Amino acid sequence: MLHKKIIGFLASLALILLAGCYKDKTVFSDTGAEITRPVSFAADITPLFDKSCAVSGCHIAGGIKPDLSASNAHNSLTVGGYYSTSSPESSVLYLWMTGKKGTPMPTSGVNKDYNALIIAWIKQGAQNN
């Protein structure tokens, strides 16, 4: 009897582990054409956050962190450690936007043009310019 319970438990555990390995997202590696011009946080990054991230119920004050509203975005990203100028491709912000860390952001799907701007901004020092 104990032998059957152990086998049943192991079978259940195997199913749970296998279910956790199910691939439910596609990760896109195309991040668009590399941007070599200077990227401005105010002129280039904030507008894309305003359009796709800092909307009701998402990344605004009192919503999901980080707060990406125009007045708080840079500070929230900096203080929260969402980017790394020494390892831009490993930045949490970039990984979320490319879909390599959970559901791609914005939730409408991966936007290679946004990703190209974000990675260029981080590579250029993630300035609040």
Q: What is the pLDDT of residues 56-88, one digit of tens each?
A: 889 999 999 999 999 999 999 999 999 999 999
Q: pLDDT exceeding 70 applies to what percent of the chain?
A: 75
In a domain, 119, yes or no: yes
Rounded CA-CA distance 72/68 in Å is: 6
Candidates 6, 37, 41, 11; CA nearest to 128 is: 41
Q: To the nearest 10°, the Cα dihedral for 26, 27, 33, 39?
A: 120
In sequence order, the 6+-apart residues with CB closer than 8 A to the CB of 70 are 46, 49, 50, 54
In a domain, 99, yes or no: yes
Residue 55's pLDDT band, with cuts at 50, 70 and 90, is confident
In a domain, 110, yes or no: yes
**Helical H runs in the chain?**
2-20, 46-52, 73-79, 92-98, 112-123
Least confident of 4-8, 38-42, 86-90: 4-8
Computed over every residue of the chain, the mean pLDDT equals 83
Residue 3's pLDDT band, with cuts at 50, 70 and 90, is low
When pLDDT is averaged across residues 32-46 and rounded to a whole number, the result is: 92
Exposed/middle/buried for residue 45 (C-beta within 10 Å: 0-12, 13-18, 19+): buried
pLDDT at 67: 96
In a domain, 23, yes or no: no
When pLDDT is averaged across residues 4-21 and rounded to a whole number, the result is: 48
What's the number of domains the chain is made of?
1
Could you tell me the end-to-end alpha-carbon distance of the chain, in angstroms, rounded to an integer?
70
Considering only residues 125 and 12, tell me which one the structure prediction assigns the higher pLDDT: 125
Structural domain boundaries enclosing 97: 28-123
pLDDT at 59: 94
pLDDT of 114 > 60? The answer is yes
pLDDT at 7: 53
In a domain, 88, yes or no: yes
